[in-house]
């Protein structure tokens, strides 16, 4: 199974430390996934860690505080990511592991590979131009509009991410709601 690759291009969280947090989920997540911020962890040694949740209902989507998972893929030895493979699409975060995340802000520019999105850009004659959170999922999904959600990215172009000798289909987005 291929996981998503997130390229956090020009994002406010690179310059504003308070937009960066540590999270922990009781479900697996991948880079580019969106989680709802919960309470701070009460586990010893996790003073700055927040428990995160999957968006559960329409109220969560409309008013939730969402964070984008952005855990660095660590190169450990001889170009191997996390000691397993040199392909970042094989990297995910298992449940219970602490990871980094950031609060998206309007104007943030990102690139996400196709594996990181639910649905299709062109679906039954409708061209979806947004990606938004979805109830019960951590991946962003393609949508025709940005109504009923508190986080939305607008599609601004198609691109590719080079991984080894392969060009992986990806999409450029700009945050229009946060």
Q: For the segment 88-145, what is each residue's pLDDT rounded down to a tens digit?
A: 555 667 888 888 899 999 999 999 989 889 999 987 888 899 999 999 999 999 999 9
Domain extent for 155: 6-177
User: Is residue 106, in this structure, part of any structural domain at all?
Assistant: yes
pLDDT tens for each residue of 68-95: 887 665 544 445 444 455 655 556 678 8
Q: pTM for the whole thing? A: 0.85
In this prediction, residue 72 carries a pLDDT of 61
The answer to whether 31 and 41 are in contact (CB under 8 A) is no
> What is the DSSP pairing of strand 117-118 with strand 140-143?
parallel
User: Is residue 24, in this structure, part of any structural domain at all?
Assistant: yes
User: Is residue 1, in this structure, part of any structural domain at all?
Assistant: no
- Number of domain units in the chain: 1
User: Is residue 145, in this structure, part of any structural domain at all?
Assistant: yes
- % of the chain surpassing 70 pLDDT: 86
Q: Is 87 exposed, middle or buried (0-12, 13-18, 19+ CB in 10 A)?
A: middle
Torsion of CA 166, 109, 19, 142, to 10 degrees: -80
Question: Going by C-beta distance under 8 Å and a sequence separation of 6 or more, which residues neighbour residue 57?
Answer: 135
The answer to whether 173 and 154 are in contact (CB under 8 A) is yes
User: Is residue 137, in this structure, part of any structural domain at all?
Assistant: yes
């Amino acid at each position: 199974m291929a996981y998503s690759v997130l390229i956090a291009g020009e994002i406010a969280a690179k310059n504003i430390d308070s937009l960066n947090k540590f999270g922990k989920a009781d479900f697996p997540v991948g880079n580019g996934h969106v989680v709802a911020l919960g309470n701070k962890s009460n586990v010893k040694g996790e003073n700055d860690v927040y428990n995160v949740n999957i968006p559960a209902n329409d109220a969560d989507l409309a008013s939730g505080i969402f964070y984008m998972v952005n855990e660095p893929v660590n190169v450990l030895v001889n170009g191997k990511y996390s000691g397993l493979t040199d392909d970042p699409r094989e990297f995910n975060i298992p449940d219970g592991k602490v990871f980094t995340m950031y609060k998206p802000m309007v104007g943030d520019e990102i690139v996400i590979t196709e594996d990181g999105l639910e649905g299709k850009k062109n679906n039954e004659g409708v061209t979806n131009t947004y990606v938004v959170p979805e109830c019960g999922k951590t991946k962003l999904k393609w949508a025709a509009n940005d109504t009923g959600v508190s986080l939305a990215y607008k599609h601004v172009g198609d691109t590719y991410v080079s991984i080894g000798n392969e060009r992986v289909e990806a999409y450029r987005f700009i945050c229009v709601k946060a």
